[in-house]
Chain A
């Protein structure tokens, strides 16, 4: 998204790529089977854990998605693709997808943009004060979503909430932030952005610190303006960081659940009924574990495909630059 506009900085980037580039070529010779097995053994604990706690449950869900199991019934009756067919026929699916994508788009764009702006502002290392301010801005990141959601619920409260006190002081009508279909989703996004910008800022700053000073010096000699330095040096060289943030933020916002559970329960009028929350109510309130598992699979495929697309597109971009 943000790293797409840097084709003119090719020479700089090439150099950077070489510098930052990873020389993973091993010089070892006679790398026998036993050595390979030993190397592999180091990956085994992780693979076991993932297999037991992730892939097995996931495969189990695939199986359940073809049954009408309700979690409390001893029998799982095989119903073929029925769950999928019913879901695709259900307009709620498209509404829920729309909500999820809308949320994700807002969350990713806002978190990254604001995070980057904050990084530009707070990238100062000679003053202790800036270190303190960075620390404070990072704080929301380590406050649990449960608590953040409750604090914001209080701030958004229709009658006594701070936000409405402020709107009233400015002469506007109070708004029922969480029960108004057009404000509920942005209200949720705001919490996530608030929690996420500090983290994004930190990563961007770490990326900026990794950019060798010579680039800026060279650009300064060429008389490049502050903006064009940002545009042609900072932004392109931050692109690996941006990609990392885009993908991790994307994945976590596609799975938004906690704030919805506490602040809106998917409402009003399904305005915040994001997929994972819907899966959750389907399984637990409606006792449709099978159908919910099918929805899990749909979500899984969607995230997978979109992630791969982002990856491929951005990688192409990086190659193009280099």
Chain B
């Protein structure tokens, strides 16, 4: 009975609070809207004389930096705070990109946003379209940031509709990671053009009783990011100039028909679905695949876990030779207050500055983004430690932004499914693709 005595008052308190909260609801809502928080244009903020203001301010930095990157991040934040003692940065891990984006959306819907955040490169158009991010241009002009020092494609990936919404922060691109020990033994070089692939397959593939025991190479089927460059390099387009689906044109189908042929003859491996990435990696490390296309961010993992020497080669080209940019950038939320935005800009600048670039890139395992940084002593030492990245930087200008379209996450799943049908059900992609294109166009109707 003792518990019961305090239950009633407890309940009464809870209810009172509840009612008070409900009553307060409208008031607070009104206040939040009228508080004048944020919503000054970036230009106004940049020119408002806040540059040298040292009012103490705390900004939240929402990020998706995994455990392996945390140490590097903490060092940067420490150095930043030493440089700007009036600014406190609170880094908050929000999970993977999906979770981070979800939380950002909710935060925007509620009008209560962090000052600065990561955004995955393919989702930038969606957020930017809604005016969620601040345009950095006025600050860039004010502080004379030399944007030409960024690798061109990397910078472009964070521009949308002519505005620079962010800077590349953790940049990756997909490359071929190969078993150098094995290829040297076989006396084969990784293919640099599509034409060389057939010969490569022939020499590297191993079969036993009609079953492949070692695949020549693997292209991931679980994410369009990996084969969009193949589609482009074959001379095709995802969308045509009229923004209609073009995935079913003969040029756009070249790569997939090649894939189909190579899969059939047992020289090419393609994984699909969740967990396929782990699977592919294990097969590579176990010697069942000689060369895998994967994100450059995984290079460190491969190097640490392989019992053989690991090499990196840029994707083979045909009509063109490109690979797409992946990873995330750093952006400022437009809904933050002026003071926060100014502090956020200083943080963005610091995180992407040339002098910090190599140290940052190496600590997180992503690519450097600044041309000037590569020329420094530090940069040269970096290449000595990571000779594999040379293949990437020899093609620095061939690393291009992926297709920027708000509907990309949705319509790309249509042609991804065709790939899935080919991998899982041995379907003929050329037959299925027109239907996928039709569906893509239906999706695109919403965006006209």
Contacts and interface: CB of A to CB of B under 8 A. Distances in A.
Contacts of B18: 45, 48-49
B191 interface: no
Interface stretch (B97-105, B259-267, B290-298): B97-105
A157 B275 contact: yes
B72 interface: no
A276 to B, nearest CB: 14
B29 to A, nearest CB: 14
Nearest to B128: A72
A71 interface: yes
Nearest to B409: A285
B272 A284 contact: no
Interface residues of A, number: 35
Interface string A154-165: 000111100000
Given A73-B130, A158-B279, A179 B409 contact: no
B420 A268 contact: yes
Nearest to B410: A286
Contact of A178 (B102, B273, B420): B273
A151 to B, nearest CB: 14
A265 interface: yes
Interface in B380-433: 406-407, 409-410, 417, 420-421, 424-425
Nearest to B420: A269
B282 interface: yes
A284 B279 contact: no
A61 interface: no
Interface residues of B, number: 37
Contact of B272 (A263, A268, A270): A268
Interface in A268-301: 268-270, 284-288
Nearest to B282: A159
The winner among A153, A160, A287, A288 for most chain B CB atoms within 10 A is A287
A178 B275 CA distance: 8
A252 interface: no
B274 A285 contact: no
Given A178-B274, A263-B274, A72 B109 contact: yes
15 contacts: A48-B18, A74-B130, A86-B446, A158-B279, A159-B279, A159-B283, A179-B272, A179-B275, A179-B276, A181-B424, A184-B273, A263-B274, A270-B417, A284-B98, A287-B105
A-B pairs with the 9 shortest C-beta distances? A179-B273, A72-B130, A268-B273, A286-B410, A72-B108, A73-B130, A284-B102, A287-B126, A71-B105
Given A45-B15, A159-B278, A287-B105, 20 more contacts: A48-B18, A70-B130, A72-B105, A72-B130, A73-B130, A159-B279, A159-B282, A159-B283, A176-B273, A176-B275, A179-B272, A179-B274, A179-B276, A181-B425, A265-B274, A268-B273, A269-B424, A270-B417, A285-B410, A286-B407
